[in-house]
Chain A
Amino acid sequence: MCRLIAITSQTPLSPMIAIGALDAMKEGHDGSGVGLFLSDLGGHFGELKGEPILSGIFTNAGMKRLDGFMMEVGFLTKYKLSIKVPKTPPPGVPKRDIYLIRAYEYPETWEGLSQSEIHHRLMNIRLRLRHMGEEKEDMIVFSFWPDVIMIKEIGEPLAVAEHLQLERPELQARVMIAQGRQNTNYAINLYACHPFFIQGVATMTNGENTAFVPIREFLMSRGFPGYIGYQSDSEVFTHTLHFMLNRLGLPIEAYKHVITPLSGEDLENHPNRRFLKHLKHVCRRLIIDGPNCVIGCLPDKTLFLVQDRKKLRPGVVGGRPGFYAISSEMCGLDVAIPDRDKSKDFQPMYLDTVYIRPDRQEVTTCRQTDELPLPR
């Protein structure tokens, strides 16, 4: 079981807050890795809104290949953060050459392209870098997207954070989601580390998904180049959400109807039953089977949480206007936001989708049996 924390705040915060919350929940993960997704950035990166930021881990040779490739495509470095790490990493953390966070200026030839075309090209560049890195094992790329920084590393979260000096002001962000990893089934691989990211959509999951294989097959057969990887069974949650948002054009409230559709009387009594029956039939292969708590961030910086059909994994949301957090455990929430009205903490149940819009004024709860706000 992994431990998750998601924080959204009006003022930029250091990622150490999220790491501290993971540390408080350390009984729930085995320190086999940490993943961090930062968005709505503060610091200098925050001033570069719109410019894509590349996050990844490179060897010195990989760095040269990256520079050559990016020059060829026409990207110019605008701002970079090179994390200089001490020579000897803490125990359990592999030795790396360069942790790279670099903002680029779009190539001139991209001017006038539509937003969706730019998004498609950004993803393709990330995929090409990933393939290049897999060939020679000299680069690992997590994200290439405006206003997004991702850091992943194997090891105990607090030790990794201190090793990488995540305290630094350049990394402050208003939205952050982080996961402390519990290694379950597979050899530790950084591409198997949550959160997963595709075109602005980032999610992380607590629990395992037994229906992983048919979902993966369905997604891979969609003919979308970004639906690859699947080193972890949780990556399908991200891609399913991306598929629903981008290909089906549905709102976040419909996510639960895709992964855990209603059945029987609940479905018959739903105001949108005709639509939901169609959705259930056509997205049948996307139905999950597992104890899962999915926490994530949408392209518009909305944070959300959904539970599986039986609410078999913990999750709690709390905070105050302007500052909210979603956490696997209460102790993580206490560390992230100690001064809050605890009586308003909410533990979403099996029908609930909880989200916090980017204005951060309230926590909205949507029950699956409620009417869907469908686009007209």
Chain B
Amino acid sequence: MSSDGRIAPSTLSVKDLPWQIHWNKDQCTLCGRCTAVCPVHAIELGVFPKRIVHASVGLKEAPSHVYEVYHGIRQKTDPAYACVGCAMCSLVCPNDCIMPYRSDEADKLRYHVNRGGQPRRRGGRRNVPGGILDQIKFIRISMLTDPALDAGRHEFEMRTLLGRVLPPEQDLKLLHEERWIPPVREIYPLMIGAMSFGALSPTMWEGLQMGVAYLNEELGMPVRMCTGEGGCPPRLLRSRFLKYVILQIASGYFGWTGLSGPYLK
């Protein structure tokens, strides 16, 4: 702690450092050799406030107090000056009143030494330039047609096919011969970023499941949702709404999109 007492979220206490310096005020001669010799400048001269209480025996005098200061050694909490435990201070001390001690807990200093740059993040980015995200360019499809003016030409088909879609030749042949064809239905895919159940919080998947149930039971829309490879929560497995869920188990296919028809065998 610095003497002016400011505390910020990243402020360290002496206890956070790997080594703490114990100093005995009563033995110290204030010779200053320890602060002079410290190779990492971990200690410096400190001025400490001290309240002295005078309470004399008897009732004549009321107890009183006075503020004084005393001088001594202060360990810096700046990680750049953290004590390395070399004990040079002990070696030079004439009264053996100073000694570094290894902290009895894991130091938190390691979270503070790497200053500058980006903090570590989850998600696999290694801050290596040239990653695929850095290479993506957003350009216009056509040099001739302004997409803003031409947007009306596009048709967006919301529905996707659920079922085993046969190759065109085979399907039309079976249709011609009036034989059995695997049923294919058009459904509205509810696609939430193609995240699997394993990546969603219970609140999230329950909310989605409620939405799916609402669309089916109240609006009569044939909506289904796929668990992804993340597995299915037991609570849902026991629920009667399981019928609106496509369980994806060991399909070896990551994620589920409108394009993944052939993978959903």
Which residues of A are at the interface with B, using a C-beta cutoff of 8 A? 1, 182, 184-185, 208, 210, 214, 243, 247-248, 263, 274-275, 278-279, 281-284, 287, 289-291, 308-310, 312
Contacts and interface: CB of A to CB of B under 8 A. Distances in A.
Interface in B126-162: 141-145, 150, 152-155, 157, 161
What's the dominant secondary structure at chain A's contact region?
Answer: loop
B196 to A, nearest CB: 24
A263 B143 CA distance: 31
Given A283-B168, A287-B157, 5 more contacts: A263-B157, A281-B184, A282-B172, A289-B155, A310-B152
Interface residues of B, number: 23
B165 A284 contact: yes
A248 B172 contact: yes
A27 to B, nearest CB: 14
Nearest to B140: A185
Nearest to A275: B175
A208 B167 contact: no
Contacts of B165: 281-282, 284
B58 to A, nearest CB: 99
Say what secondary structure dominates the interface of chain B.
loop
28 contacts: A182-B144, A184-B143, A184-B144, A185-B143, A208-B142, A208-B144, A208-B145, A210-B154, A243-B168, A247-B168, A247-B169, A248-B172, A274-B175, A278-B171, A279-B168, A281-B171, A282-B165, A282-B166, A282-B167, A282-B168, A282-B172, A289-B155, A290-B153, A291-B150, A291-B153, A308-B153, A309-B155, A310-B152
Contact of A282 (B143, B157, B171): B171
Interface of B: 141-145, 150, 152-155, 157, 161, 165-169, 171-172, 175, 181, 184, 259
B168 to A, nearest CB: 4
Contact of A310 (B153, B161, B184): B153
Contacts of A243: 168
A334 B231 CA distance: 67
Nearest to B147: A210
Contact of A185 (B142, B154, B157): B142
Nearest to A218: B168
A125 B196 CA distance: 49
A19 to B, nearest CB: 23
B145 A281 contact: no
Contacts of B152: 310
A284 B159 CA distance: 11
A210 B141 contact: yes
